[in-house]
Structure 1
Amino acid sequence: MDKQNKSTASLPKTVKRAGKVKTGCLTCKIRKVKCDEARPSCHRCLSTGRVCDGYGIWGGGNRPVRHNTTSSNASVITAGTISSPPLYVVSANEQACMEWFILRTTTKLPGPWKLAFWTTLLPQACITTNAVFRAVLALSSVHKVQALDIRDGTMELFMLQQYNRATNDLRSLIGRGKDSIRATLITCAIFIHLEYLRGCYRTATIHLRHGLAILEHISSVDMVDEWIVDTFTTFFIQAKLAGQDVAFPQHLQRKPGLRFSTLYQGRQALEHILLRIIGVGDASEIFLDCEAVHNELNLWLEASEICVCTSTLVDQFSWKLLRIYNTMALIMVKRLRPANSELQTTMENPFRSILNQCQPLFDFVRNNSARADDASEVIADIGWIPPIYYTALHSCDQRTRKRAVGLLRLVPHREGVWNSVSAAMVAEERLLDNK
């Protein structure tokens, strides 16, 4: 009996390891304990006298707020460097991919647009939401493969693994309220960017349709929601300009107004006008007051001229790009009016204006070319392809259309759903058919 007790006592005791904590406040995640997820601060932290660090970009917590007179948004989400500790142990490959995302992807894919979705929301959402973290790793790996022209299949396998893990993590978020909707939309946006990079446009369109449907469930729009809505607004406009069958989402019908003082506000105002023009014929905009929209576009142009004077060199590039979209929008409004020969003649000058405005941008890009070690030739945001493609399709002057096709071939690259080489081929076929 004593021998049996001794042998039993000598056996190693099995210790139950704490599982991964995927949800809850930051404090409970770090402590690896189950969180009751109470708002604004979890009861588990409060009952033990601890400071609840809240739920990341989803808010909450009882940590004292440091008042900062230089930033009115400090209480909503912190900008700049990330000081929060990691919530999960990552492999060397995952760490390398995350570093690539922070240092290279967030500076290359947005192009000239330094939007908070890339600089603030995604890096911080990676800390608090596992699905976003895995989706970002997948996106980063695709960008790295294309930028460095890597032919090794192991990176493709890594991307697919992270993609699948992100999808599985999303399933655990279903039915968790507003926070889960935000996390799902952010992950969906990353998937769309990823599929555009891979050239899988049909899959990207499926993700976009799902994202726009989920977007309807956002009841109130705060700053974080606004960043998400702006991202899907751009997705929708570019998809419609490319001729894709995407239903008009009611949630995108906002009215930011024509008064703006920043590049971000100016882009919001112009995209709202484009939404109204694109919505004609849809249930969203059965009738459009062309004269009123025409006046709004002219007012936008006047306001933008004031902003350009005080902008940096990169922002001036972005303003010039927006003004090209403004010119295209003016043509789109004119084409909604009853057709007549006089109207067709007056539209040729704006078409030529689009190409003339694009030329200095081409020169700027060639003189300030991308890094020599980045062969991706891709950005995820808007560029000059849609206005040039629109000119190549709809101008009545053969020389203008040929010039537009030539510009599409001049700097081969991709802009989200757009591929300049593919656009040139389609425009050239249409040009030959009209002869």
Structure 2
Amino acid sequence: MSAGTNVTHSDEHRQPPPRTMPGDKVRTKKWAPKTFNGCLTCKKRRIKCDEGKPGCQRWPFSMDPFSMFYPMSVVANEDPDAPPKIRLFDPASSSSTPTTPPAAPPTTTLAPPPAEPEPDPAPPRDPQFQSYLSSYPHPQELALVPIFGTQEEYRGFQFFLEKTSNLISVYSKPYLWSVLLPQATWHQPSIKHSVIALASLHQSLTTLGAPSQRANHNVMFHYNAAIRSLVADKPPIDIVLAACVIFWALENFNGSGQPAVDHMKAAIKILGEWKSKRRSKDPADDLISKYIEPTIRDGVKFASKCRMEELTDQMSALCLTTRDVRIMNFKHPAFDDLEDAEKYLGSCIDDILTLKSQIQVQAALHSTHTVLIRELERLDELDARLYRWMHLFQNLTATGPVYMRRMLIVHNVAAHILLDQLQRQAHYNASEPEEMQGPDRDFAPECAGPERCRHNFIVIEVEDVLRHDPLTTTESCRKNPPFLGFIAPIFLVAMSAENVETRRQAINALRWLNVAEGSWSTEHAARIAEATLEMAHKCALVPSNVDVQRLTFDLDEDDQTLTMVWAREPEHKAVKLTKRLDALDLPWAGLDIPELVRRYGYQFSSQS
């Protein structure tokens, strides 16, 4: 009995066998209080959650910020001017199997887009995609190659990188659209689906036939998938704001005025709430302040006057400049068809070129760069007219050839390039608020403005139009080009782009186009652009330093040669560049070459 009792007593105090394999060390679990509610991050951290919406703001300040992955959040940097760092999923540890989002509340349910019988994973080493990556030196290259589940998603993402992001970047923050949003597609389903929806809409508007129909079906499928992801995942505030901006761009592309304003209204409201509860060392501060908020300001400028009245109560959340307010208050009657849109834009370009000549003459007469107030007011008005044209064009219901609509966008971008030149010529600063500026902001890729992307966009867009739109190759189109023509925007790039390769690409596009507009032809433009490049190379000058406004021409009818002379400044008469061109086969009779080159081939007076 005693022995049995002793055995029972020893069994009660016997330790359970360890749950380890032989040779492993026994691990003890660190004590921590249990948490049953709150966000998943606070549960994992075992801290009390503030249950704030749209995301908890407690845990980023209670733990080491570098010990946890912040989805699309910016880590505090020692250098305030350093670019934001974004934590990405490790590609080796991320699963390529797409997760099915929960059912969304009352949204339209669509069938998935028609896909291939057996969708294979997208090839990570596509030659065309790698050529794109090599042409744009992103600091985080690997972030631009996410492994999507289907070929359809991969093609949509590739179209966004090559076409859609380039188009939006000429009007807004290039680094956001070309780098940050593609990075976010790694780990944010809402951004991935919204980006593909936007690219699909862009593709449906710029292509013909089956590709256009297939892309149009993909729009609503991925649009709804993005909304379901936002509802189910409850991402942080920077992701919600980024999604609002993408949705605004999508509705703007589609010409839907009220839905676009609704998305912008939501973005401004969320931004205002975030600013009112702003905390020091907020990981989303840099991303929202440097990229998302300026993009929202750019978007507001495209809204109509009546739509702006709906946002009046929320405008205090945006740091609007005087220029922004002037653009938003500008009024112009709507145009009814593509021909009216072309004439409106041609009038803007003609006025910009005329003002450039007037300012140059004024500077030559008075030997000063001072610009009169009335000329600055005209410059501001031209800026507002170009923004208003884009708003009216997006809401234009009249149909027409796809290539004409795309070429009008190209001419609008060319007008912005001319306006940038005019602002530099007049020493006019119409940039962001002072707190957004820095001494080196124009030299850092993450701080580059839209003007850095415009030349490259024009060349790529015109090449794509010529390559894929059959109407541009017809004899009637080449003999009777549109009012604004094809040559001028490409010649503008060939004569003013900072990058030498972009200029050479534009010269090749001119020769490929091979059309004549009156007495002015692509061969004329290509020869003059090549001569300008050779003059700059001969004296080891940056091509942009060879200013078109200082080129003079002399035609020798006896020798049939055209002499181009460039002088840097009147006080530097010794610094001159000279280039002779064979003009034997070029019909120069009756053509004012100096004036035509200064106007980059735009011939309004002869056609109007």
In which range does the TM-score fall when normalised by the shorter chain?
Answer: 0.3 to 0.5
**TM-score, with normalisation over the residues of structure 1?**
0.47
TM-score, normalised with respect to structure 2: 0.35
Larger radius of gyration between Structure 1 and Structure 2 = 2
Of structures 1 and 2, the one with the larger relative CO (CA 8 A, separation 6+) is 1
Structure number with the higher helix fraction is 1
